[in-house]
Structure 1
Amino acid sequence: MEWALRERAVRVRARVSGRLGRAEPVVVDVLLAVFSAAVSLWSVYDDDTAWPWWVYLLATAPSVPLPWRRRFPGAVLLASSLPAAVLSVVAHSVMPQVQVFAVVTIYTLADRGRNWQRLLTLVVLVVGNIVGTHSPSGALFSLVVSVGSFVFGSLVRELRRLARVEAERAEQVGLRAASDAARAVAEERARIAREMHDILAHAVSLMVIQAEAGPLVVRSDPDRAIRAFDAIADSGRDAMVQLRRVLGVLKEAGAGPELAPQPRLSELAAVVERVRASGVRVESRIEESGPAEVQAAAYRIVQEALTNTVKHAAATRVSVRVVRSGADLAVEVTDDGCGAASAQEAVSGRSGGRGLVSIRERAAACGGSAQAGPGPDGRGFTVAARLPLRA
């Protein structure tokens, strides 16, 4: 209950503050009109001639439109100038030395008027003060007051324009920053998704195959069953180690992708051994070369290619080559499995995976490329990638 009352009080204060903020310019303009009228009335009263009542009315008339000057600057200037011009003709001696209404309306038009209104007003001010004033000193004083008001209003107009430009620029910077942040979040999510996919898909695939084979040979070949269960345990432990790498980085405040411990090509030997333990013959030639990000990408590409071989290809033999070729690191995984049919299943998503897409993404992230298709003579399947060793 107390919270609701406090919230209601805040809303009431905000509403009152908003109304006061909207009312403040009107109050200022009304006070300006009163002050201008007072100056004009005092000028008539202080004159030596006893003027009739209508002269006092003419003297106050130019100040009456001032409360509307912000909304209709051109019309207010014209409405103030007409009675002032009549008063100047019939009773010039009662005109104040500084006409407050003229200063205010000229300033307002220079600040808020349209361009053609501003240009026309400036021409009329210059010509009118020079032609309509008999003495040079009087003309100079009138020009300083009137044109000075116009110049001051123009300066305020320019400051308003610059403030709008800065506000728009700040808004654009904020939008770009928000867009960059959203893009960084999306890229980081994609990176984490690739890492989790590669780690879990490889480990779970090997564990499922070994678990299916173990019960079949547990009586006829106990040693093979033991090796199968050992391979399951090794795959599980390796997956846990790699998951801790990823999750450990996520728990660190401010940690980025560059801080994540990345797998090296030297660790591929363990992956190859686990695939061998699943019953697939693996021939491998692995040369450790290149910076950490290239080695990590090559590791993941080989890991994903072997995972697809184990899951989809029904292969008996697979060849793994990771060698330096000129300025690139060449990666090639070739199997003798069922070839394009298994690849199409992996790409189309019927298997629930996105391994080949992940391979291409990893290669592209390093500035390289990857291809996948049937092996030599249309037999088996080949995944090949080239990763630049230098940026």
Structure 2
Amino acid sequence: MRRACGAGDRGGSPCEPGSIWSRGGRRRSPGPDDTADVKRYVNLAVTVAAVAATVLPALTGGTRAWWVLPLAVASSVPVLWRDRALIRVAVVVGVATTVSASLGAPPLLPVGPLVCLYTFAARASPPIRLLGVALTAAGLLVSLLYPRPDVEVLRYLSVAYLFSYALGTSTRARRAQAVVLAERDRRIAGEHAAAVLRERTRIARDLHDILTHAVGVMIVQAEAGPLLVRHQPDRADAAFAAIAATGRDAVVQLRRAVGSLYEPADQPLDQPGLDHLPVLVDRVRAAGLDAVLEVNADPPLAAPTDVGVAAYRIVQESLTNVVRHAGARSVRVRLDHTGNSLTVSVTDDGRGERASDAGPPGYGIVGMRERAHACGGTLHTGASSDGHGFTVTATLPLSAPAVV
């Protein structure tokens, strides 16, 4: 029973374009094979033209010696194999042309030697090109000076050979330029892909930091709200107000993050920085933690924009982890300006590294480390010096360029 189209097995349908020619005909190969076919056809056309320009005048010319036709064939047909053995083809073609001219039957136009000289100029390495020029010049001088000099023909053929070599040199230059342009396009494409990946990573980090912090604080406040409504209505009202404020702030930051996609690439992004840390700490304090912000900077700290954003996001993610996992009662955020660097540390008195067992692993610490590395800094995490709680410390250079 004949199998219909679309009833193919795991290897694919028998009616797919690639399998139609797999039997009973030649299968078409895409890509580089197409270029190879074009080169073969062009080479064949050039050979046919050389044979026609050399052999036909020999058949219709006045000289009827037996050696005219074999020399005409030898000076044109080998051009077909010039891509495989250029030097040997050039020697055969050149010797046949020189002997034919010396014996009194010069070709009307030495197409074979001209094609070989063009190939030397277009494809050969510099030493081989010099060898080809030397062989061509020697053959030209011998054929025109023996048995009697012919200055007019020498001028005419010299112009033809110079034009052939110049044409080959131009082809080689265009090929080299094409290679340079292709390499530039690949480099630009790679840079574009890397920029897209960096932007995707930045957006993913921002969304993670914004949402996890806001949702974490809102969950803590929402869980505490029903308990406070009965016994401490004032604190309950404050908890619900904090939930609303946190939600509004999250919406604003999300709008900024999404809006940055529509801004020009050279326009700076509207991101929170060091000036927004007091509000961030106050929001965590409203969630019930004893949160303190300490800034040790004299003179007042003036950090680059990328460093300020990184410091803010690192503190934000650290505080989120404290609220959600640490089970801490207090947390301290400290900024130290020492020399050319800014040290950001977040220390809590919670469960320490055991807090990582409270839930599945996330991307918080990974994202903080990536942010610190993007500014040329480092990030260290671990138990506090007194053995209680957990500490996140980021050291961010204030003058070093960002690492891409």
TM-score range, shorter chain: 0.7 to 0.9
1:118 maps to 132
Is the Cα–Cα contact under 8 Å of residues 37 and 60 in structure 1 kept in the other structure? yes
After superposition, the CA RMSD in angstroms is 3.5
Measure, in 1, the Cα distance between the counterparts of 2:53 and 2:339. 88
1:217 deviates by 2.7
How far residue 197 of structure 1 moved from its aligned partner, in angstroms, is: 1.0
Which of structure 1's runs of 4+ aligned residues deviate more than 6 A? 19-25
Q: Counterpart of 1:358 in structure 2: which amino acid?
A: G
Does the 8 Å contact 1:61/1:80 carry over to 2?
no
* Shift of residue 40, structure 1, vs aligned partner: 4.4
What is the correspondence of 1:119-134 to structure 2 with a 5 Å cutoff? 121-122=135-136, 125=139, 128-129=142-143, 132-134=146-148
The question of whether the paired residues in 2 share the 8 Å contact of 1:207 and 1:232 is answered with yes
Q: Which runs of 5+ in 1 are unaligned?
A: 1-18, 45-50
Q: Share of identical aligned residues, percent?
A: 36
Match of 2:200 in 1: 189
Could you tell me which residue of structure 1 aligns to residue 379 of structure 2?
A: 370
Mapped partners of 2:301, 2:101: distance in 1: 96
Higher mean alpha-carbon deviation, 64-73 vs 177-186, is at 64-73
Answer yes or no: is the 8 Å Cα contact 1:281–1:317 preserved in 2.
yes
1:183 deviates by 0.5
Question: TM-score with structure 2 length normalisation?
Answer: 0.74
1:354 and 2:363 correspond: yes
Deviation by residue 1:237-277 (Cα, 9 ceiling, x = unmatched)? 1101111111111133x345x52112132222221122112
1:198/1:133 CA distance change after superposition, 3 Å: same
Alpha-carbon separation, structure 2, partners of 1:231 and 1:221: 15
Number of aligned residues: 349
Q: Partner of 2:115 in structure 1?
A: 108
Moved more, 375-384 or 31-40: 31-40
CA–CA distance in structure 2, aligned partners of residues 316 and 186 of structure 1? 39
From the superposition, tell whether residues 120 and 248 of structure 1 become closer, same or farther in structure 2 (CA, over 3 Å): closer
The C-alpha deviation readout for 1:75-121, integer Å capped at 9, x for no partner, is: 597479659847965xx4xx35xx225x1111122233674983784
| In structure 1, distance between residues paired with 2:351 and 2:221 | 20
Deviations 1:5-29 (A, max 9, x none): xxxxxxxxxxxxxx99986775665
Q: Which amino acid aligns with 1:382?
A: T
Letter in 2 for 1:104: V
Q: Which has the higher helix share?
A: 1
1:271 aligned onto 2:280: yes
Aligned to 1:302: 315
After superposition, residues 203-242 of structure 1 pair within 5 angstroms as 203-242=214-253
Change (3 A) 1:142 1:311: same
With normalisation by structure 1, the TM-score equals: 0.76
Q: How far, CA to CA, are the matches of 2:79 and 2:290 in structure 1?
A: 87
| CA deviations over 1:30-56 (Å, ceiling 9, x no partner) | 455445456446651xxxxxx7xx54x
Q: Secondary structure at the match of 2:230?
A: coil
1:214–1:225 CA contact under 8 A, matched in 2: yes
Query: Post-superposition shift, 1:323?
Result: 3.5
